[in-house]
A and B are shown apart, each in its own frame.
Chain A
Amino acid sequence: DIQMTQSPSSLSASVGDRVTITCRASQNINSYLNWYQQKPGKAPNLLIYAASNLQSGVPSRFSGRGSGTDFTLTISSLQPEDFATYYCQQSYSTPRTFGQGTKVEIK
């Protein structure tokens, strides 16, 4: 199975900050990497698919980069509604493993 490791596990940031979350795969997954946002008690919401493609309706302050084993999700200017947990997921092979999550909290 492909292991997905996110860092950091949590971070504190202020509104307006630039935030970057990293996701590393245990083997090459090309660009088959997706990012989801989850708020407490809610279902995950797709942000980025295939490493760098912004899902329709997602604000442009979210962006994704990377290929191979190393990927990043960046929020260019953190907004109050962005405080949530973020998960990466590989769709290179089954099982479609998720990272452990990165919780973004208010500083």
Chain B
Amino acid sequence: EVQLVESGGGLVQPGGSLRLSCAASRFTFSSTWMSWVRQAPGRGLEWVADIMQDGSEKYYVDSVRGRFTISRDNAKNSLYLQMNSLRAEDTAVYFCARGTSGYSNGWYDYWGQGALVTVSS
């Protein structure tokens, strides 16, 4: 079965940086658009960023644009989220999710287990 495994979460001070990774397996990673979705403690789901199959197009929620960068390495079957200038409100569990169907109107059929990012001094 499809596997998505996040890593790289942890405690970071406000203004700091962190890089999340998502290792994908058991599917053709290079053929799939991918996303990051986050969930603050006790809150709902929030879409963060999308990346197309070849990495040529990327999209971000307004609150992270300019601070976060989504990327991928298809040779390593890996998705990344570089998070800079972190704020307390970025504290959340970050999920990587596999997009399916066409990008324009697709949905997420597999999710990773999540990585907790805590931004605090």
Task: Give the interface residue-count category, chain A.
Answer: 20 to 34
Give the number of chain B interface residues (Cβ < 8 Å). Answer: 21
B contact residues around A42 at 8 Å (CB): 113
User: CB-nearest residue of chain B relative to A56?
Assistant: B109
Q: Is B107 a contact of A89 with CB atoms below 8 Å? A: yes
One of A12-20, A44-52, A75-83 at the interface? A44-52
Verify B45–A89 contact, CB threshold 8 A.
yes
Given A32-B105, A87-B45, A98-B45, A43:B112 Cβ within 8 A: yes
A92 to B78, CA, bound (A): 27
Contact A91–B46 (Cβ < 8 Å): no
Contacts of B105 in A (CB 8 A): 32, 50, 91-92
Contact call B47/A96, Cβ cutoff below 8 A: yes
Report how far A92 CA is from B95 CA in the complex, Å. Answer: 21
Contact of B111 with A95 in the complex, beta carbons under 8 Å:
no
| CB closest chain-B residue, reference A6 | B44
Residues in B48-105 with C-beta less than 8 Å from chain A: 50, 59, 61-62, 95, 101, 105
> Which A positions have Cβ atoms within 8 angstroms of B?
32, 34, 36, 38, 42-46, 49-50, 55, 87, 89, 91-92, 94-101
